[in-house]
Amino acid sequence: MTKHESPSYKLFLAFNYALLTAISLLCIFPLIHVLAISFSSSSAASANLVKFWPVGFTTKAYEYVLNKPEFMTALGVSLKRVMLGVVINMVLTILTAYPLARDPEKFRQRNAYAWYFFITILFNTGLIPWYMTIKTLGLTDSLWALVLYGAVPVFNVILLMNFFRQLPKEIEESAFLDGAGHMTNMWRIFVPLSAPSIATLTLFCIVGHWNSWFDGLILMNFPQHYPLQSYLQTVVVNIDTSLKSTRDIELLSIVNDRTSRAAQIFLASFPIIAVYPFLQRFFLQGMTLGSVKG
């Protein structure tokens, strides 16, 4: 392939490598810059000396954030939310995708059920009716509010359903002949056969729950119930100085606002970066999971 290339194509290739390198660097530099600030000394950060490498390396900002009770409380809420939310999401995704993957000839109501779920993708009732419903149910300030309203991730159900439908029919036919029921067929045959897809969807759910912030912000009345991203919204984006205690103001002379914000940004994205290698291995497959045909 590479042998008889025209000079103009060789020139294009060189240009292409340079361009792709430049775009990648442009994508990653903002992250590296803020990471460098988080490890820099307070004075270097406020004097704008930090570029892409820490100046006056220190972990003071991280020590400050990790000793902040509000941060740790919010982290705890987030961890609980992710664990509970992902289990609920995945159990319901599998339980729902399996019947929907049946042949409509054999499961007559299959199409009616499919439309029942699909309509929720087509029509969104809007913020206020959604908020009022959760409020009326008395779920505000409860962890359940954050995990129940999105308990059935319809889009994931469709992806898994399409994957289930591609599994060879012969396997389940022989399972049924051996006396297996639908439950056995689902857990013992379908789930193990689609392990990579289920792993992909699980990772999507983890990322989704971890990154959610707006629900926490409006469904929780007390900041001590905020998950981490909602808490960060109030300290990193919507900087509200009235929330600072005197202890904070004293400490801020040592760990300036900018370095502590940077440290919180990175602590909050750490779990994402930690699961990213796994995500990457699976999501290529997950994205194309029978979603686009033709």
Partner 1 sequence: MNKLLNRGSVPLHLMLIPAVALVFIFNYIPLFGIVIAFEKYIPARGVFHSKWVGFQNFTYLIHLPGTFQTLVNTLYISLMKIIAFIVVPVIFALLLNEVRNKLFKRSVQTIVYLPHFMSWIILSGILIDILSPSDGIVNMLLKSFGLKPIFFLGDVHWFPYVIVSSDLWKEFGFNTILYLAALTAINPTLYEAAKMDGAGRWRQTFHVTLPGIVPVIVLLATLSMGNVLNAGFDQVFNLYSPAVYQSGDILDTFIYRLGMLDAQYGVATAVGLFKSVVSFIFIAGSYALARKFADYRVF
Query: Closest distance between partner 1 and the C-beta of residue 45, in Å?
Result: 9
Q: Which parts of 180-199 interact with partner 1 (CB under 8 A)?
A: 181-183, 186
Which residue of 79, 196, 211, 223 would you call a contact of partner 1, by CB under 8 A? 211
248-285 burial, b at 16+ Cβ within 10 Å, e below that, comes to beebeeebbbbbbbbbbbbbbbebeeeeeeebeebbee
Of the pair 143, 152, the CB lying nearest partner 1 is at: 152
Of the pair 228, 251, the CB lying nearest partner 1 is at: 228
Query: Closest distance between partner 1 and the C-beta of residue 195, in Å?
Result: 20
Which residue of 72, 83, 121, 171 would you call a contact of partner 1, by CB under 8 A? 121
DSSP conformation class of 184: H
Q: Structure tokens of 182?
A: 């639908």
Binding range to partner 1, per CB under 8 A, among 58-66, 154-162, 194-202, 244-252: 154-162
First to last CA, the chain: 29
State the residue for tokens 């042949």: 103
Burial of 167 (0-12, 13-18, 19+ CB in 10 A): middle
Q: How many Å apart are CA 118 and CA 108, to the nearest integer?
A: 17
Q: Binding of partner 1 at residue 144 (CB under 8 A)?
A: no
Q: Binding of partner 1 at residue 169 (CB under 8 A)?
A: no
Q: Which parts of 212-271 interact with partner 1 (CB under 8 A)?
A: 212-214, 218, 229, 232-233, 236-238, 258, 261-262, 264-265, 268-269
Burial of 10 (0-12, 13-18, 19+ CB in 10 A): exposed
Which residue of 100, 160, 198, 205 would you call a contact of partner 1, by CB under 8 A? 100
> With CB under 8 A, what is the number of residues at the site for partner 1?
104
